[in-house]
Amino acid sequence: MIEENYDAIVIGSGMSGGWAAKELCDNGLKTLVLERGRDVKHLKDYPTAYKNPWDFPHRNTIPESVQKENPIVSRCYAFKEATEHFFVKDTEHPYVQEKPFDWIRGYQVGGKSLLWARQVQRWSKYDFEGPGRDGFAVDWPIRYDDLAPWYSHVEEFIGISGNYDGLETLPDGEFLPPWEMNAIEKHIRRSIKENYSDRYPVIGRCAHLTEPKEIHLAQGRGKCQARNMCDRGCPFGGYYSSTSSTLPWAEKSGFMTLRTDAVVHSIMYDDAKEKVTGVRVIDRLTKETTDYFARVIFLNAACLNSNLVLLNSKSERFPNGLGNDSNTLGKYIAFHNYRGSMTAKYDGYQDSYYFGRRPTAVMLPNFRNVFKQDMPFKRGYMVHYSAARENWGRDVAGDQFGADYKEKISRPGTWSIHMMMQGETIPKEENHVRLSPDQVDEWGIPQLVTSVGYDENDELVLQDFLEQGSEMLEKAGCRDIVTKDSGQAPGLDIHEMGGARMGKDPKSSVLNKWSQMHDCPNVFVADGACMTSTGTQNPSLTFMALTARAANHAIEEMEKGNL
Ligand SMILES: Cc1cc2nc3c(=O)[nH]c(=O)nc-3n(C[C@H](O)[C@H](O)[C@H](O)COP(=O)(O)OP(=O)(O)OC[C@H]3O[C@@H](n4cnc5c(N)ncnc54)[C@H](O)[C@@H]3O)c2cc1C
């Protein structure tokens, strides 16, 4: 057992851990980043980035044998031959599903920031006010104005493309030029605006460099090429991942040490000193144990793994998990309800086309229960839609050949529209994770038991989306509208949140308004685990902004000698 001392330790090198590392190193703190997976270096470790479909043995599809062995991860749309090396396979890291839960993970430097779909939106003031106003979960200890400067801070650095829309329900950020809607998307937007006074579709906001600025070039990143092969790792650095952005930036400062293959077993609480002193790590390959010590700990292992680490961090003072005086740790897990979607066709605009593979869609911010509770269900949903021409060869039939055939296969098909929901779910005590009493993983760490399900509110939200979505498309003149409830298990949304929620009262929450443990002030949890409620927005921008805010608070407190 070796001992090493640092100013700060960051657990997890993904989307949010990258931000903790950057902020701490920018401020001169000697920072150790612990990552359970292997190293992934920007450019060097993107083996499929330039491959064509015919370069893959199975044309970039997952063979049936792999699907059979890995039913959970195979349900994720992004799990393909080109990306499978960035996903955790079911067989490698088992967990116990008390209720069906598709836990999608990426265990390597970069975490899931290599794989994400890069859609980002700020929360609005209505999202932070939601739980307090509508009486669920606990009141958020912060409001939009507390986070707004940190949204800006993150957006400027990672680069967000978006349009300045001036909507209260989806506040604008620091934007690079937006992508463009195509003709039919604009047509649907016009129709929605004409028919509904409360609905404003906007072009999606996404973490892509449409026009890199000085700060992005300084990171070694360049313009997005609209290749839409992002989840292989982008050789242009055209989208944000911690591997292309925050981690190399932190490394350049000279203050960061990155230790890979470091499976964090627990955070160590010293009963005599009455504080957290460090982190216990088991080497992924040798299984050797090492303790690392630091003044502050940032836990950014992704929502459920952060819950697991905390639940497994037991001491005399905290027999039920670190900082768990409230007995809420592992509870109030929530996620996004993605079950509803629909497709449709549109006959017009046959002379319109579009350029490139745009990495975003159209977003319609939530319009239910925004200003007051006026529906028979709580909260609401965001809608995403996009339109594309169906396959080439619209008029091809039978045994044609020659010039006529060539002419016909060069004609794009009918416009088809895809629409989907992203529904808020209500955090509840019964939706929880806990440690298995008898099953452990390869490193002797208890497996996680997931007990998270839908409720009646989710069904009502789903029905409302299916009705409203169909109505909006019908009013826009679409035909063949087909609605679908995928019935998918929670988890497949990959937006799990909660378990160590923020709150004002230590009796009912684990973290204070700085994402700092009420009971262990030198521990910060600013990934999805800290979320008090889910909002309807894609969550990662909020995780990054909360992490940057927490890190800067920690730095200030350390300077004052309080930590
Ligand atoms: C296909 C896909 C599409 C997505 N699309 C979007 C989107 O459009 N918009 C959006 O906002 N979000 C999206 N997400 C979700 C997004 O990726 C996550 O919200 C985000 O990555 C979470 O950040 P994180 O830092 O908490 O976790 P991660 O990025 O997963 O990083 C956690 C890191 O911690 C490490 N770790 C875990 N346990 C330990 C341990 N015990 N010891 C040491 N290290 C540990 C992991 O190996 C990992 O590297 C998507 C995700 C996927 C997979």
pLDDT digits over 288-299, tens only? 999 999 999 999
The pLDDT value recorded for residue 356 is: 78
pLDDT for 43 equals: 96
Q: Does the pLDDT at position 1 exceed 80? A: no
The answer to whether residue 3 scores a pLDDT higher than 70 is: no
Task: For ligand 1, pick from 86, 112, 298 the residue to mutate: most ligand atoms within 8 Å of CB.
Answer: 112
Mean pLDDT over each residue of the chain, to the nearest integer? 96
Mutating to test ligand 1, I would choose from 32, 80, 104, 116 the residue with most ligand atoms within 8 A of its C-beta, which is: 116
**Ligand 1 pocket at CB < 6 A:** 11-17, 34-37, 76, 78, 104, 106-108, 111-113, 115-120, 262-264, 300-302, 305, 309, 494, 527-528, 538-540, 543
Task: State how far Cα 183 lies from the chain centre.
Answer: 30
Q: What does pTM read for this prediction?
A: 0.97
Domain ranges of the chain: 2-119+229-335+429-453+492-559, 125-228+336-428+454-485
Residue 208 CA to ligand 1 centre (angstroms) = 18
C-alpha 448 to ligand 1 mean position (Å): 17
Position 540 pLDDT exceeds 80: yes
Q: Which residue from 268, 322, 314 is spatially nearest to 291, judged by alpha carbons?
A: 268
Query: Of the residues 10, 11, 15, 114, which should be mutated to test ligand 1's pocket, given the most ligand atoms within 8 Å of the CB?
Result: 15
Place of tokens 């627990």: 266
Q: Whose CA is nearest to atom 49 of ligand 1?
A: 111
Q: Which atom of ligand 1 is nearest to the CA of 528?
A: 26
Q: Are 43 and 236 in contact, with CB atoms under 8 Å apart?
A: no
- Gap between the Cα atoms of 501 and 466, Å rounded: 31
| 190-214 pLDDT per residue, tens | 999 999 999 999 999 999 999 999 9
CB within 8 Å of 227: residues ≥ 6 apart: 234, 357
Ligand 1: nearest atom to the Cα of 242 = 29
Task: Give the residue-averaged pLDDT of 235-257.
Answer: 98
Instruction: Ligand 1 pocket test: pick from 358, 420, 492, 494 the residue with the most ligand atoms within 8 Å of its Cβ.
Output: 494
Percentage of the chain lying above the pLDDT 90 cut:
94
Rounded to the nearest whole angstrom, what is the distance from the C-alpha of residue 505 to the centroid of ligand 1?
28
Q: What integer pLDDT is reported at residue 2 of this predicted model? A: 57
What is the structure's pLDDT at 226? Answer: 94
Please state the rounded mean pLDDT for residues 261-274: 97
Helix (H) or strand (E) holding 460: helix 456-475
Compute the distance from residue 413 Cα to the ligand 1 centre, in Å: 37
CA 517 to chain centre: 23
**d(Cα 295, Cα 9) in Å, to the nearest integer?**
8
| 373: confidence class by pLDDT, cuts 50, 70, 90 | very high
For atom 50 of ligand 1, the residue with the nearest CA is: 116
Q: Which atom of ligand 1 is nearest to the CA of 306?
A: 38
pLDDT at 413: 87
Give distance in angstroms: CA of 544 to centre of ligand 1: 11
Q: Using the mean position of ligand 1's atoms as its centre, give its distance from the Cα of residue 103 in Å.
A: 11
Provide the b/e sequence for 139-152 (b: ≥16 CB within 10 Å). bbbbbbebbbebbe
The 3-state secondary structure of 145-189 reads HHHHHHHHHHHHHHCEECCCCCCCCCCCCCEECCCCCCHHHHHHH
- In this model, does residue 479 exceed pLDDT 70? yes
Categorize the per-residue pLDDT at 157 as very low, low, confident or very high, splitting at 50, 70 and 90: very high
pLDDT, position 354: 86
Q: In terms of CATH architecture, what is 2-119+229-335+429-453+492-559?
A: 3-Layer(bba) Sandwich (3.50)
In 3-state terms, what secondary structure has residue 349? coil
Q: What is the CA(173)–ligand 1 centre distance, in A?
A: 23
- For ligand 1, the distance from its centroid to the CA atom of residue 470, given in whole angstroms, is 33
> Residue 525 C-alpha to ligand 1 middle, in angstroms?
14
Averaged pLDDT for residues 315-338: 98
Mean pLDDT of 346-356: 89
Measure 113 CA to ligand 1 centroid, in angstroms. 6
| Region 99-122 average pLDDT | 98
Q: pLDDT tens digit string along 375-393?
A: 999 999 999 999 999 877 7
**Nearest atom in ligand 1 to 104's CA:** 53
Ligand 1, atom 41, lies closest to the CA of 264
Quote the ligand 1 centre to 14 CA distance (angstroms): 6
3-state secondary structure of 549: helix
Ligand 1 atom closest to Cα of 538?
A: 11
Q: How far apart (Å, rounded) are the C-alpha atoms in residues 523 and 500?
A: 12
